[in-house]
Amino acid sequence: MDGKGLSVKNQNMAKVELKISGMSCAACSARIEKRLNKVAGVAKASVNLATERANIEYDADKVKTDDLIKIVDDLGYKAERIENISKDREKEQREKEIKKLKAELIASAILSSPLILAMVFMLTGIDVPFLHNEYFQLVIATPVQFIIGLRFYRNAYHAIKARSANMDVLIAMGTSAAYFFSVYNAFFAHPVEMGMMKELYFEASSTIITLILLGKYLEAVAKGKTSEAIKKLMGLQAKTARVVRNGVEEDIPVEEVQVGDIIVVRPGEKIPVDGRIIEGNSSVDESMLTGESLPVEKKVGDFVTGATINKFGTFKFEATKVGKDTVLSQIIKMVEDAQGSKAPIQKIADRVSGIFVPAVIGIAVVTFAAWYLATGELNSAIVNAVSVLVIACPCALGLATPTAIMVGTGKGAEKGILIKGGEHLEMAYKLNSVVLDKTGTITKGKPEVTDIIPLGSMEKNEIVKLSAVAEKASEHPLGVAIYEKGKSEFGAIPDPAKFEAIPGRGVAAVFDDKNIYIGTRKLMKEKGLDISKIESDIAKLEDEGKTAMLMAVDDRVEAILAVADTVKEHSGEAIEQLLKMGIDVYMITGDNERTAKAIAKQVGITNVLAEVLPENKAEEVEKLKKQGRIVGMVGDGINDAPALATADIGMAIGTGTDVAMEAADITLMRGDLRAIPTAIKLSRRTMRKIKQNLFWAFIYNIIGIPFAAFGLLSPIIAGAAMAFSSVSVVTNSLSLKRYDPEK
């Protein structure tokens, strides 16, 4: 092993999520991220402006969380561990900030109004002495500049202290230039001629601050709406649970439920936590998890999920998962993580933001110098430089991507589609090939024995019994079907003396001194058994879409067992949708080619990868990737996990195993394959919104800065345009909420 491998192995890697307050634009988040990534021991740091969160992976032996918090605090922001902030407190903080912004906005607007009125009168040639009085204007402009505008100065100070620049630096510089130039003209410049009004720009500095506060207020309100999916999910949680303790039923807060508690649920009530039914039966509405409207029948031994709704019967269940371990809590955490993640496209905005503000300051200096040297007019030079500073604030750039991802992942959660992160959302947009596992994905995964063909002297009853014994310990769906067939006919099935699963081929067992083999042609051939005479019988069954398995006892092939797995109701419709979207669809299975093609034909798939051993599924996916394809893999079993991890996008059917879901990038909470085109459509629409947002954010600055530099924009118009650019980006992202990818 090389040195790098050793160092990774020895690292005590940890993760922490921090809540960061005080960020105003993309330059802020970029600066914090850059600083954190420079810290020794930090493997990766990602800062999201929209969610105000930082996700950090670090070596706990080299750096502590408190050190990371101090680094952020030293940059002029406030950082806290996310787990130390309750949802209520976070909501309270957000509402407090919105109230503060609203109060500042109202005060600023009231104070700025006379100044704007004075400007209008001046432009129309009307002289209203008290409105145009320099002392009056100074008195009402000063609190706007230095009390209401204190937040911009404070943040600008911290930015400059950290040898960086952000939006607040631009605002502080621009408004200060307008304010102090007005003070100079009012009290220190040469007296103006009788009847002439002094050139004052107090209205520009005050109005810019007012408009930016308006933009920040609207942005804060809109950003709150982007996380409504989380609020909805949290609102699904039951508040109380009816627990049986000491033989008595009592209602307790759901937070106090412990693993092992016995809980009673009556018709119409929410199931408070996850658990297993121990008494009674019912139908449960699981639409909040899966999007599936039909209730699911539940009986003793079945598992129920917290926040789902009991429809009819009363039952008791034992709590198995509570608090943060419940399925709903895990879903909420997954959605939160996804909303806090970054899509690769965000890197464009991050790179631009890092150099943007210093570049704008440079352009403003050049603008001032050029106008002053060309015209000799200090007024024009300062006004145009201020316009450049104000219009160029990169707020919209920082919000373009994360707000769309927040709404997109939230929309996915509503549809039972859990997307783990922004990078997966972006990659899903690029998919041009989808590989579908057959068993449990295209098909129901619950096959039944359809045919038993004796080939020797053994009776059907004996064939059924011996095959059930051999498959009793099998976990393969086909083996389970054979065991269930025997169980239904004979009741209790004895255990074999020996059992061995042979991956991709079948099983071997010993019972009553008989060596029993059940499996594929390959298995029979490996055991040296001749099956040439029964090939036509096998082929006939396979042409019917059935899986034919051979049963041998000792050294003789005794029977053909045919098992059929029925296709899921909507598989054909989902595949048709994918093909219409221009996506190539492949089916991958361990079944022989003839059987596989029969199933594929039923659902409209022409690309079939048959007789693929579980360990080779990932190889087949890799082959497709090497052809230049962007591949999505969809599966549900443990054996699909390597392929899910290998694919560009792994999608796990939520009805499958935890291992598959862990390995996947997207989890489809219900077994309906129509969720696949829905997820891809949602990804495409979200990426379209991101590109629109970035386009307008870039275009706005590309067009706005030259206009301001050439004197075609007043500082007030520049301030309004800058403020509303952020709002327009967030509003465009919010329009995703109205999009229905299922239509």
The SS3 call for residue 563 is strand
Which tokens in the block code for residue 268? 């119409």
Pairing between β-strand 13-21 and β-strand 78-81 as defined by DSSP bridges: antiparallel
- Closest by CA to 338, choosing from 425, 278, 461, is 425
Question: What DSSP designation does 493 have?
Answer: -
- Closest by CA to 48, choosing from 82, 12, 14, is 82
CB 425, CB 683: distance < 8 Å = yes
CB 609, CB 586: distance < 8 Å = yes
CB 364, CB 382: distance < 8 Å = no
CA separation for the pair 545, 558 (Å, rounded): 22
* Structure-token match 């360990």, residue found: 615
Q: Name every residue whose Cβ is closer than 8 Å to that of residue 648 and which is 6 or more positions away in sequence.
A: 427, 430, 431, 625, 630, 631, 632
CB 458, CB 557: distance < 8 Å = no
- The beta strands (E) that lie in 636-675 are given as 649-653, 666-668
Please pick, among 437, 565, 591, 665, the residue that the annotation labels catalytic: 437
Paired residues of 561 in beta bridges = 452, 549
629-667 burial: b if 16+ Cβ within 10 Å, else e: bbbbbbbbbebbbbbbbbbbbbbbbbbbbeebbebbbbb
Paired residues of 221 in beta bridges = none
**Letter for the amino acid at 671?**
G
Pairing between β-strand 584-588 and β-strand 607-609 as defined by DSSP bridges: parallel
Q: Name every residue whose Cβ is closer than 8 Å to that of residue 385 and which is 6 or more positions away in sequence.
A: 177, 364, 365, 367, 368, 371
- Closest by CA to 226, choosing from 741, 729, 669, is 729
Question: In degrees rounded to 5, what are phi and psi of residue 575?
Answer: -65, -40
CA separation for the pair 646, 618 (Å, rounded): 6
Paired residues of 275 in beta bridges = 304, 319
Taking the mean position of all CA atoms in its chain, how far away is CA 372? 51
Torsion angle in degrees (nearest 10) through CA of 120, 126, 131, 132: 100
Q: Name every residue whose Cβ is closer than 8 Å to that of residue 67 and which is 6 or more positions away in sequence.
A: 39
Paired residues of 410 in beta bridges = none
Paired residues of 502 in beta bridges = 506
537 included as an active-site residue: no
What angle separates helix 422-430 from helix 327-340, to the nearest 10 degrees?
A: 80
The SS3 call for residue 556 is strand
CA separation for the pair 107, 714 (Å, rounded): 23
- Closest by CA to 176, choosing from 205, 152, 214, 196, is 205
How deeply is 351 buried, as exposed, middle or buried, from its count of CB atoms within 10 A (0-12, 13-18, 19+)?
A: exposed
CA separation for the pair 156, 162 (Å, rounded): 10
Pairing between β-strand 666-668 and β-strand 649-653 as defined by DSSP bridges: parallel
CA separation for the pair 649, 593 (Å, rounded): 26
CA separation for the pair 316, 309 (Å, rounded): 14
CA separation for the pair 652, 576 (Å, rounded): 20
- Closest by CA to 403, choosing from 224, 211, 166, is 224
CB 371, CB 699: distance < 8 Å = no
Instruction: List active site positions.
Output: 437
